Amino acid sequence: MDKLPFTRPSIDEETIQRVVAVLRSGWLASGPRVLEFEAALSAYVGGRPVRAMTSATAGLEIALRVAGVGPGDEVITPALSWCATANVVLRIGARPVFVDVDLDTRNLLLDQVEAAIGPRTRALLPVHFSGLPVDQDRLYGIARSHGLRVVEDAAHAIGSAWRGKKIGSFGDLVCFSFHPNKNITTGEGGAIVTNTVEEAALVEQHRFNGVVKPAPGEFDVLFPGMKANLSDISAAIGLGQLPKLEGFNQRRRELVARYFERWKVAPPLRLPAHGDAGHSWHMFAPLLPLESLTITRQEFIERMAARGISVGVHYPAIHLLSVYRDLGWREGQFPNAERIGRETVTLPLFPAMQDVDVDRVVEAANAVIAETRRVAVAS
C-alpha cells in the first residue's frame, strides 16, 4: 500500500509548462511574471496593493518594519505558531509578548491580548491558525482603542474568510505563505497585502536592499534592506495555482467534513474547532489523549508510519524553545499552548486525497489508540 503523506502540493501539467516557458525566456528573477502574479493576488483581495516575497517569514519581518516597529517595542503574539512568527519580532530588535491560545481554535485569547498591552506595545501579530480566522471585529476593535498596528500572520489563511470577507481584503498588513505545504504554493514564497501604494513602495525597498532608482542608470540605498524578491519561476507556479485555490479549499473542507463524520461519536482524539465556511483548513491537527495511552507521541507517529500514514507535528509552544527560554519564558505560563505543543498531531489533508484515504487514517488512528490505551485498575 502506498505511503500517504500528511500533505502534498497539486501541480498540474499546465503549470509545469508555465515554468518551462519562464526558463526558456531567459528572465528568471523578478520580472513580468511577478508583476502578473501580484496583480492577480491584488484582484483576489479586492484590489489592495500586494507585493510578493521569497517567504512569509520575510513578509512578516518587512511588514513589522513598515508598521514602524523597532528596537525597544513590544509585539503581542500567540505562544503557539511556527517559530518564525516570533523570530521576526526578535530580528528587528523588538520583544515578543506571548499570550495563550484557545485549546480548540488555537487562536489568540483576546482577553489576554487586552491584558498584555503596555506602554511599549506597538503592534498585534495574530495567527489565523490552520486557516480559522481570529475574531477580526474584536481584534481590530482592540487595536483601534489602543492605537496599535496589526500585522496578520495569514500564512495558513489564503482563501479564508471572516463573515464573508476574504482575509486580506480588509484590515491592516496581511502576510500570506506559499510554501509547498500551504493551500497554494509558489515552491517557496509569500506576499504582503498593504494599505496604500506608498506602503507597497516601501515594501519594495525593504525586499530589495533598500534600493531606489530615481532615474534610468541611477540608484541609491536609503537603508539596509534585505533580499527577498520573488522570482519569475516561482510566480509562474503561483499563476497556475491561484485560479485553483477555491477548488482546493472546497476539497479540503469536504475531507475535513469526512474526518468529523467518521469521528462523530466519541472521537478518540480531541478534534479542532470546526469553524464555518470561512475556514480554509490548511491542516487538520487533533490532540492525542496521551495521559490515557501507554505510548508517546513519537511512538504514535511511528505506529502510524508502519501503517503507511505520515503524521506531522504543528507546533511546539514557542516560548519553550531555547531562544525564548533564554529571555525568561518558562513552563506553566501558557497552559493551552503547552498542552497543544505536547499532544498535537497533524493528520493527512491535501486536495488530491480521496475519501477512502480519510477512512484509512481514521481506522489506523483508532486502532493505534485502542491498542495502547491504559487499562484502568480497580481500587
Residue 32: the pLDDT is 97
Same domain, yes or no: 217 and 251: no
> Per the confidence metrics, is the pTM higher than 0.85?
yes
* Structural domain ending residue among the three candidates 244, 265, 288: 244
* The Cα angle at residue 36 between residues 31 and 38, in degrees rounded to 5: 95
Same domain, yes or no: 77 and 129: yes
Same domain, yes or no: 82 and 186: yes
4 lies in some domain: no
Residue 2: the pLDDT is 87
Q: Which residues contact 126 (CB under 8 A, 6 or more apart)?
A: 77, 78, 107, 108, 134, 139, 150, 152, 153
186 lies in some domain: yes
Cell of 269: 482524539
pLDDT of 279-305, one tens digit each?
A: 999 999 999 999 999 999 999 999 999
CA distance 342 to 322: 16
Q: By residue range, what is the domain housing residue 346?
A: 245-371
Count the Cβ atoms, other than its own, within 10 Å of residue 116. Answer: 17
CA distance 338 to 335: 5
Cα–Cα distance list, 248 to 11, 126, 182, 253, 311 (Å): 11, 24, 11, 9, 21
Residue 375: the pLDDT is 80
CA distance 89 to 196: 23
377 lies in some domain: no
Same domain, yes or no: 217 and 249: no
138 lies in some domain: yes
Same domain, yes or no: 267 and 205: no
Q: Over the chain, what is the mean pLDDT?
A: 97
Same domain, yes or no: 280 and 173: no
Low-confidence stretches of the chain (pLDDT < 70) are 1, 376-379
Residue 379: the pLDDT is 52
Residue 225: the pLDDT is 97
* Structural domain ending residue among the three candidates 244, 267, 302: 244
Residue 149: the pLDDT is 98
CATH number at residue 320: 3.90.1150.10
Same domain, yes or no: 253 and 208: no
Instruction: Give the dihedral sign, CA 137/142/145/151.
Output: negative
6 lies in some domain: no
CA distance 269 to 263: 9
Same domain, yes or no: 209 and 69: yes
Same domain, yes or no: 232 and 254: no
Count of domains observed in the chain: 2
List 165, 166, 182, 244, catalytic entry: 182
* 213 in catalytic set: no
Same domain, yes or no: 249 and 229: no
pLDDT of 95-111, one tens digit each?
A: 999 999 999 999 999 99
Is residue 245 within 8 A of residue 158, CB to CB? The reply is yes
CATH number at residue 148: 3.40.640.10
* Structural domain ending residue among the three candidates 202, 220, 244: 244
Same domain, yes or no: 173 and 317: no
Same domain, yes or no: 200 and 285: no
pLDDT of 116-166, one tens digit each?
A: 999 999 999 999 999 999 999 999 999 999 999 999 999 999 999 999 999
255 lies in some domain: yes
